[in-house]
Amino acid sequence: MKELKFFIADKVTRLDLIVWSLVLFFFCGAALIMGGDLQKSFLGASGIIVVMFLIGSSIEMIIESMKNVRGLGTLVGFITNGPELLCLLVGLFITKDVLFAASTPLGSNFMNPVLLVIAALLSRSALTILKTNPVYTLITIIVTASMAVTFYFLPESAYWPWVVTSVLLSSLLFVLRPKEEHDENKEIETVAFARIWLIPAVLMLLMAGYFLDPTVQFTAEYSKAPAGVIGFLVLSTLTSWPEFKSSLALLRRGMVLSAILNIVVSNITNIWLAVAGVIYYLF
């Protein structure tokens, strides 16, 4: 347990402190300017910070537990989509609105690449990323983003053609993804972590990711922040926080291809989640 406390405490970086401060500044500042409820805005912003901390810590635990597993980037790409899966299920079974249900996974396809660029700049890995399978990465990002934006402009009668096309293209991109090297002897400068923490870390990621969206919505309501800014900037960034933290962690470990695959596999998985939601809705 002492090892766990040290591991989590060691992962609070200057970047985390800056982002948390910006979250507090944004929502509390909006409450003051727009005449919102400052106390509830502060409470909600604090809740967002707690959720973001849990997400970051759980991802570090997952990566450390699986550091010698072949295909780490692909596996992390799947795992970080757990919150999107939960949001999809809530949208389908509670709101029964397919557009709302698919919005979280599809919306992430635009912010994920942006956050990969930011992670590359922060870890000083931008040039290395540009030299690592650039054609595949660019094609995958463009195709998955295009499939996501196309869905919002389709009439319901065109859902089935979109489903078929999306499944074929995304599956082809997944099959053609570059293979990750597996290096048993690669030394990673971090605290040794037992595999026993993998399942609790995954559960913590899912739970934190599930509560992120309603926490942001609560804070947005009482801060009276502009809806457009919330929807297109704040919410899209925060819901992609797991992908950002995992990419940053992988890049700092020198696992460039794994970081890239984390993002592209996450985008592909987002398409699959949206497709599953649409199929359920149509039936």
First vs last Cα of the chain: how many Å apart? 48
Q: How confident is the model at residue 20 (pLDDT cuts 50, 70, 90)?
A: confident
Q: What is the pLDDT of residue 138?
A: 95
- The model's pLDDT over 132-167, given as tens digits with 9 standing for 90+, comes to 999 999 999 999 999 988 988 888 899 999 999 999
- The predicted pLDDT at position 32 comes to 92
Q: What is the pLDDT of residue 198?
A: 79
Average pLDDT estimate for 249-272: 91
Q: What is the pLDDT of residue 205?
A: 80
pLDDT digits (tens, 9 = 90+) for 76-133: 888 887 777 777 776 677 656 666 667 777 878 888 898 899 999 988 999 999 999 9
CA distance 245 to 155: 36
Task: Provide the pLDDT for residue 107.
Answer: 78
Task: For helices 72-79 and 38-65, give the axis angle rounded to 10 degrees.
Answer: 150
Both tokens of 232, joined, read 């297109």
* Mean pLDDT, residues 26-43: 91
What burial class does residue 74 get, using C-beta atoms within 10 Å of its C-beta: 0-12 exposed, 13-18 middle, 19+ buried? buried
| Mean pLDDT along residues 201-208 | 82
pLDDT for 2 equals: 46
Question: pLDDT confidence of 233, banded at 50, 70, 90?
Answer: low
What is the identity of the amino acid at 71?
Answer: G
